[in-house]
Amino acid sequence: MNSPINLTHERILITGAAGFLGRHVVAELRTAGIRENHILAPRQSEYDLTDATQVVRMFDELKPTMVLHLAAQVGGIGANRDNPGRFFYANLAMGMNLIENARRMGLKKFVQIGTVCSYPKFAPVPFREADLWNGYPEETNAPYGVAKKALLVMLQGYRAQYGLNGIFLMPVNLYGPYDNFDLQAGHVIPALIRKFVEARRAGASNVTVWGTGNVSREFLYVEDCARAIVLATQRYDGADPVNVGAGFEITIADLVDKIRTLTGYQGKVVWDSSKPDGQPRRMLDTSRAEDRFGFKAQISFDDGLRRTIAWFESTAKK
């Protein structure tokens, strides 16, 4: 493990700072003692990261010394299926523009957030970083996953040719307060929470859930992920990609039952098996993160779900 970098002397640009993960990373940086005027959090309305000219202007105006690239165009199975071209283009373009300008400006560090969706569809479980290239990703989210994986190659190439210190982190599915609870674009946990809460409030007799429930997933509470990103920014300088997760898996059927119980919904669950399940299993080997920068998840899954449900209940219209 490397000696930690003192981040208090850096000007840290965070893309996607107003988003789900971004707002938690900003909070973690504040906890780490970063001054407010050293946390650079431009909005999408100020700079279009898919436009190379606007990214040049952003770097010249804000003058960061480090970049944490969290911004992404992403969604659940439905959103990935409906927007494969846009998700590929936008995620690749944003990353390419930012990495090139990090090289141009001689930044001290570039942190790229990848995705578990980059792994092969039938990767051995738990997913190990060494298996990242041993097959094609699951079809419904392959464009998004391949675009992110291409940025890993770019960072490794820029490290070799230009000496850019770029690291690549691959979080598993995240959940927590401020997630996207939209039923079309949201991921499985926020979508299920919303469905069950709204069904309970409406007195609905049943809730329809996509798929068969047989596939498994791993989930990481968003505050744990934010802590991992800041730890890696401080302590990790390697070219190898690193998984960021909690190191467990749960079937979607068990997840549905757990959320149904925690939200207090007492009706029936109807499975729509005509809808896709996605990747058969998903769980990460998280040993590299613990070894390279000392990260281990702290928030239990049940506790994280309770916090997320409580946040949604307090913010959703009754």
144 catalytically annotated: yes
Q: 201, 173, 209: which is closest to 304 by C-alpha?
A: 173
**Which of the residues 47, 144, 158, 175 is marked catalytic?**
144
CA dihedral sign, ordered 287, 293, 299, 304:
negative
- Amino acid at site 257: D
Beta bridge partners of 272: 210
Distance CA 143, CA 280 (A): 18
List, by residue number, the catalytic residues: 144
